[in-house]
Structure 1
């Protein structure tokens, strides 16, 4: 009978990296016990792994710096070190692995040449994975990218593998994946979601249906006034509610009980904090510290003398101008030109009063509905001065340069993702997720 090996990873600048055995064991134990967080030691630094609604986060309690973390389940065959197929879905921020039982069925359907793998009957709601040039997960009409990856499996640990939760596809992990997908698909609160039923077991600790993400109860909340929460208009008090009787859980900012001090619930994501703690967090960045949901209009320090211009090409015009996008034959092209002259750094730049070097950048989008949607978001980001900043160029190593601020653009019409070009099937989803991190969603 097939078993599985579970390991945990953290997101580094260079990619996903595995935790060591001690940290992994601590995380697994906390997850199994239903804890909301656990203390681990990562490369000599004591950190907190928080089981957040939008996915696990590693938190440095000294600096407050957060890294994404994830749980990976790899099916094991007879030979450790063999290649294993794993299917993943993109949740708007990260690629998330399906549980082994889902991956196995999806791979079997694809190998059989079927057009889709349909779980609708099993879960009682529309849940399908469709195959084609690209693979897509559809839950109640909402589509998200899906991909197949091949990994080399590590030998199983000396300790026996844990017994998988009872219920097959209705395991806690499967329920977590489907509940997260259903939430992103916009299901109404209280609606039955794929992977759950009246007789299903309660959600596991990494499920978004934990107490920190509970639906608000009117009798437990009270409006917050501008006097209680003065943020110079950047975060409206109506986005928070005071909690009269908070649960006996820790505030993930200060790690003290929510009952010790006045507490509030953020109304867009339902996470709870001490009032004074969230004030300090929002003063630095108007985002939920747990899920990074934006709660205000974020602006950057992009130089004010830049311009954004757009030109569109039909496919024939794009071919003549040598800007046709690889993998999108027949499609028109949107060309974005950013231009910044030289200038002097202001008070919000690294070296106020020092001259900086300007730049000219070109970016490309497919001229279709998705491309035009991304263009509108990029225009908003530019107006909010979020697209560029002043700093060190990663290309030349020079300081005092106008550089990208972290919203990725396609700067070549060809060469694939490795060359910041096309084709790249998940670019639209990734850049929208990045823009959402900057608070740009419409």
Structure 2
């Protein structure tokens, strides 16, 4: 992550001590000289922060975060307005005067930090550690909160809504405000919420589930150590039901015995030897709920998959196919947004898997689509932050197919999530990724 600091004073010195990937721009020669003992020469730029050439030399066009920290708050606001044209993904301002925070927010600055306010909050929390709690709620698509007005939430007397974030805008908590998918509700609670209200607001189990079932296709003894192990891991951490499906009764029984030894419960389905995949997709035990099909990548599987019409898959319960390579836990997940509806489904699935498995999420997208997906990324980052998951995006200016193949082969990631109908990668290259990639691949089918 590339971070720029524009300003001077103690903030620059402290950040230089704690961040290795920071670049500091300052026109204060004393500050620049002091920083030479802490940073590389390439990380310190002497110049004016409102000079376009200086900003481009610092690489502001590639910056993830721009931190503005001058001693004068008016200068902070002026520089923030100036650098906005270069589109850093996040602008963060450090202000001295607490009374100026609302003024900065009115100018559209989303992230404002006041050291004095943060100090006061810290002191209050130390003196009254249980006096109040600020909670965040993301309104998910399946949430019962969608379409409801704030007045209908029937909150306890000790709970109030501070506001609702919708995209970049903070909306006042008016009683007749109707909640939408993706809204970010900020709650302030005195004491502890009753369990019934916790479930109502946050949802049962708190974490959004990516699918209801994980079905492991076990064809031979080799699948017991690869497919079954990975499917069991996924089912356990997503809270999904585990199903073992096989054409061989003996193999299925070995799978059940192995799972019992580890304390894992599962159900079993015996498939017909011919047309096993078609038989599976239409099994009544599966088609009634969304399922993730875990299978070993093989030529036979891909041949059968090609023979199935798209509507045959989408009409079944299978929404996700996991090609298991045995690489788990999933520490880092890679996915792609190419502007299609299918790739947007990939984003929704990826963040849910990342939340349940406590994985980092990395999104690659075409450079010219970064504004198109801005609100969606903001939603994903807020949802990730709520559950302690880091979400990063990387706009690619060149050939996105080459970038994806490079990342998949790099060994940096453990899981690649991709939409089967996406056109960003050619079919022959995609098939090679499916079969030859050193990481597991999760395919969104519908």
TM-score, normalised via structure 2 length? 0.25
Structure with the largest fraction of strand: 1
TM-score, normalised via structure 1 length? 0.25
Which protein is bigger by CA-based radius of gyration? 2
Structure with the largest fraction of helix: 2
